[in-house]
């Protein structure tokens, strides 16, 4: 650097004002020149740096070795870039990007090296912090993944496990059935378990369910049979027969197993809190030798219900029994009823109730009919039970109340409307009836008919509602009296206005002495109590004559008139 040229001052200014640390080094690694940024970075003054060997001023492990960047330039005369860590005056490490460029004369001989040191210490610190944070994050993600996997496994266990007994549940059974080749399923249900819960309490009921699960596990053979806990008080046994060739033997085994289970449970006393409970179970068995294993559980349930209806301990489902077709028919009627309710096709028919003392002032019983989408009128015998089973019965009662109240609001005739226990226990139905009574103010000509049965007496809410109707001025009628359950005290307790004598007693009253004797007793009781009597199923002139002879107040039946959408003309 002995020969300054015309550009030297400009170079000196650029060199000193550069943001990165720069120095010029001789071929022997002696520092010849440094800028302000270099002294600030290293902490050394110009006096301390100039004339000093670079490896002595800012030592680095690579200095004076074959990997030294400056030595690389001396040998190759090529520019070189690398990351390097130096130490400043106080011994602190400085992370830098070193760019070293050879200074060559006209003969392309090395005269020196100019180095640029870009301080990346802060960047390295931030990179390190990010690396640490990333490692921590990855660790947390890994831990969270493990936790989520465990939660997923736990949810799967909960999804497929009954929490009370620890047995696989219905979902697990359906999954196993779907995967099997020739599945066989038996559903086992405790008879009248609701009574056990009501009498002993749910804690005792749960104890019995767990105890029965253990007993069934002990009874089951070890080879291939699996036990499941279904809803409520029901269990399932599943076995994959693998091939239809095995079915005859497997089904024989299931039959023996069903008998053994029934006898074992029947002879077992389930004890808790000094209580001993005896159980009976009913079993339905079904197999899928072909196509549709998904419906297998439904078929086993159908077989169970049929077994219970026939009071048999177990029953196999067979396609030829027509059971499945019967349930399909129920589904069809349920949909038909739903559509009729939706499109306001539940219509009232009216059957006159002939008043023997005032023939020109008939009462009318309101009877529900269903009109299908073609206008065909369907008898309630085909849909009433379905309506109750599918909880659509209150909608039928609502239609009868609304339409009959509107029709009779300006007529003098008394009408009677049938109420079921389900109606009286449904808050919406009872509220609707009260609203219509308040709106139309025709309580005095409304009679509500209720069936005489034991279930009504056991529902205090229903009894309370009937008494409120009576108190509001409505009349009460007991329907089908004498049909098999006749409770005179019950009739008195509810203060009935009408006692409708069942068709089974009226049908043959013209020649059956037993019917005559019973009817005479009922009429005598009613007259003593001031209760009006109605003879149902008056189907002939001779029956009508007997009804009059026994001083029954009203007659109802086809001899008087069939139910019709129209009222009788004067």
Mean pLDDT within 92-113: 90
* Bridge-based pairing state of the strands 415-419 and 363-371: parallel
Is residue 308 located within the same domain as residue 373?
no
CATH of the domain at 412: 3.20.20.450
Is residue 492 located within the same domain as residue 449?
yes
- Please state which of the ranges 244-248, 387-391, 487-491 shows the lowest mean pLDDT: 487-491
Highest mean pLDDT among 242-251, 290-299, 515-524: 515-524
Q: What local confidence, expressed as pLDDT, does residue 541 receive?
A: 97
In the chain, DSSP finds a helix count (H) and a strand count (E) of 22, 21
Q: What local confidence, expressed as pLDDT, does residue 540 receive?
A: 96
3-class DSSP assignment, residue 287: strand
Is residue 107 located within the same domain as residue 208?
no
Mean pLDDT within 135-146: 92
What percentage of the chain's residues is helix, strand, coil (to nearest 5)?
Answer: 45, 25, 30
User: What total number of domains does the chain contain?
Assistant: 4
CA distance 49 to 31: 7
Is residue 374 located within the same domain as residue 521?
yes
Is residue 205 located within the same domain as residue 312?
yes
- Bridge partners of 377? 371
DSSP string, 460-501: HHHHHHHHHHHHTT-EEEEEEETSS---HHHHHHTT-SEEEE
Q: Please report which confidence band the pLDDT of residue 71 belongs to, taking 50, 70 and 90 as the band edges.
A: confident
State pLDDT tens for residues 395-411. Answer: 999 999 999 999 999 99
Q: What local confidence, expressed as pLDDT, does residue 1 receive?
A: 46
- Bridge partners of 101? 114
CATH of the domain at 40: 3.30.450.20
Residue 246: pLDDT over 90: no
Q: What local confidence, expressed as pLDDT, does residue 405 receive?
A: 97
Is residue 365 located within the same domain as residue 498?
yes
Strand order in the sheet with 226-229: 226-229, 234-240, 183-190, 281-287, 314-316
CA distance 544 to 555: 7
- The CA distances from residue 430 to 323, 350, 419, 426, 469, in Å, are 37, 22, 10, 6, 10
| Domain end call among 140, 159, 178 | 159
Mean pLDDT within 355-374: 94
State pLDDT tens for residues 152-188. Answer: 888 888 889 999 999 999 999 999 998 888 899 999 9
| Domain end call among 251, 286, 321 | 321
- Please state which of the ranges 1-15, 55-69, 74-88, 162-176 shows the lowest mean pLDDT: 1-15
Residue 360's Cβ-count burial label (10 Å; 0-12, 13-18, 19+) is exposed
Segment 458-461 long-range contacts (CB within 8 Å, at least 24 positions apart): 459/421, 459/424, 459/425, 461/424, 461/425
- Please state which of the ranges 283-297, 300-314, 381-395 shows the lowest mean pLDDT: 283-297
Highest mean pLDDT among 26-30, 218-222, 541-545: 541-545
CA distance 203 to 211: 12
Residue with tokens 């003392």: 357
- The CA distances from residue 290 to 3, 152, 251, 325, 391, in Å, are 105, 34, 15, 18, 35
- Per the structure, the complete domain to which residue 142 belongs is given by 131-159
State pLDDT tens for residues 520-570. Answer: 999 999 999 999 999 999 999 999 999 999 999 999 999 999 999 998 765
State pLDDT tens for residues 72-96. Answer: 888 888 898 888 888 888 888 899 9
Q: What's phi and psi for 392, nearest 5 deg?
A: -105, 0
* Bridge-based pairing state of the strands 314-316 and 281-287: parallel
Is residue 279 located within the same domain as residue 374?
no
Residue 383: pLDDT over 70: yes
**Residue 564 forms part of a structural domain:** no
- Bridge partners of 451? 479
**Residue 2 forms part of a structural domain:** no
Mean pLDDT within 203-218: 93
CATH of the domain at 194: 3.30.70.270
Mean pLDDT within 411-426: 94
- The CA distances from residue 223 to 72, 238, 240, in Å, are 79, 11, 11
Residue 195's Cβ-count burial label (10 Å; 0-12, 13-18, 19+) is exposed
Is residue 249 located within the same domain as residue 178?
yes
Determine contact, residues 79/100, Cβ cutoff 8 Å: yes
Which tokens belong to 335? 């949909």
**Residue 456 forms part of a structural domain:** yes
Is residue 314 located within the same domain as residue 212?
yes
Residue 471: pLDDT over 80: yes
**Residue 126 forms part of a structural domain:** no
The DSSP letter of residue 118 is E
Mean pLDDT within 100-109: 89
- Bridge partners of 564? 350
| Domain end call among 321, 353, 381 | 321
pTM to 2 decimals? 0.55
Q: What local confidence, expressed as pLDDT, does residue 239 receive?
A: 93
Q: What local confidence, expressed as pLDDT, does residue 519 receive?
A: 95
User: What rounded mean pLDDT belongs to the chain?
Assistant: 89
Q: Please report which confidence band the pLDDT of residue 197 belongs to, taking 50, 70 and 90 as the band edges.
A: confident
Q: What local confidence, expressed as pLDDT, does residue 8 receive?
A: 66
**Residue 548 forms part of a structural domain:** yes
Which tokens belong to 425? 């226990």
**Residue 566 forms part of a structural domain:** no
Mean pLDDT within 372-390: 91
Residue 219's Cβ-count burial label (10 Å; 0-12, 13-18, 19+) is middle
DSSP string, 328-366: HHHHHHHHHHHHHHHTT-EEEEEEEEEESS-TTS-EEEE
Q: Please report which confidence band the pLDDT of residue 212 belongs to, taking 50, 70 and 90 as the band edges.
A: very high
**How crowded is residue 188: how many other Cβ atoms within 10 Å of its Cβ?**
25
Is residue 140 located within the same domain as residue 179?
no
% of the chain exceeding 90 in pLDDT? 59
């Amino acid at each position: 650097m002995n020969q300054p040229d015309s550009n030297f001052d400009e170079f000196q200014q650029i060199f000193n004002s550069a943001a990165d640390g720069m120095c010029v080094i001789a071929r022997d690694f002696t520092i010849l020149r440094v800028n302000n940024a270099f002294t600030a970075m290293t902490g050394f003054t110009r006096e301390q740096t100039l004339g000093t060997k670079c490896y002595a001023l800012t030592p680095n492990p690579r200095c004076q070795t074959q990997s030294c960047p400056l030595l690389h330039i001396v040998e190759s005369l090529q520019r070189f870039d690398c990351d390097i860590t130096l130490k400043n005056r106080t011994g602190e490490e400085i992370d830098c990007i070193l760019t070293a460029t050879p200074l060559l004369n006209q003969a392309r001989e090395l005269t020196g090296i100019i180095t640029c040191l870009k301080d990346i210490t802060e960047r390295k610190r931030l990179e390190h912090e990010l690396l640490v944070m990333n490692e921590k994050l990855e660790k947390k993600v890994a831990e969270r993944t493990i936790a989520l996997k465990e939660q997923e496994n736990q949810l799967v266990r909960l999804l497929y496990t009954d929490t009370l007994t620890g047995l696989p549940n219905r979902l697990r059974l359906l999954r196993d059935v779907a995967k099997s080749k020739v599945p066989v399923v038996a559903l086992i249900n405790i008879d009248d378990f609701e009574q056990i819960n009501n009498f002993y309490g749910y804690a005792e009921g749960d104890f019995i369910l767990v105890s029965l699960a253990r007993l069934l596990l002990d009874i089951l053979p070890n080879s291939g049979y699996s036990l499941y806990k279904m809803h409520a008080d029901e269990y399932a046994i599943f076995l994959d027969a693998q091939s239809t060739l095995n079915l005859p033997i497997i089904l024989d085994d299931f039959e023996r197993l069903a008998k053994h289970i029934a006898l074992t449970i029947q002879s077992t006393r389930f004890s808790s809190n000094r209580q001993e409970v005896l159980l009976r179970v009913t079993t339905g068995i079904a197999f899928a030798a072909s196509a549709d294993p998904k419906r297998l559980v439904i078929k086993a349930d159908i077989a169970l219900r049929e077994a219970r209806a026939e009071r048999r301990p177990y029953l196999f489902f067979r396609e030829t029994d027509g059971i499945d077709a019967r349930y399909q028919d129920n589904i069809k009627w349920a949909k038909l009823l739903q559509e009729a309710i939706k499109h306001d096709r539940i219509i009232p028919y009216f059957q006159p109730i002939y008043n023997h003392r005032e023939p020109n002032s008939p009462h009318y019983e309101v009877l529900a009919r269903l009109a299908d989408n073609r206008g065909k009128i369907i008898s309630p015998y085909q849909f009433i039970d379905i309506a109750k089973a599918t909880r659509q019965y209150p909608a039928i009662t609502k239609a009868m109340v609304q339409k009959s109240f509107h029709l009779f609001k300006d007529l003098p005739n008394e009408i009677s409307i049938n109420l079921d226990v389900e109606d009286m226990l449904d808050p919406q139905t009872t509220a609707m009836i009260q609203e219509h009574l308040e709106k139309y103010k025709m309580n005095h000509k409304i009679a509500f008919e209720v069936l005489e049965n034991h279930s009504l007496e056991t529902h205090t809410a229903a009894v309370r509602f009937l008494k409120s109707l009576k108190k509001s001025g409505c009349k009460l009628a007991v329907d089908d009296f004498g049909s098999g359950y006749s409770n005179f005290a019950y009739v008195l307790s509810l203060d009935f206005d009408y006692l409708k004598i069942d068709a089974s007693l009226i049908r043959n009253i013209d020649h059956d002495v037993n019917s005559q004797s019973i009817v005479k007793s009922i009429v005598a009781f009613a007259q003593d109590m001031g209760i009006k009597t109605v003879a149902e199923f008056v189907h002939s002139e001779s029956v009508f004559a007997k009804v009059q002879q026994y001083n029954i107040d009203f007659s109802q039946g086809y001899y008087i008139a069939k139910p019709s959408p129209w009222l009788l003309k004067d």
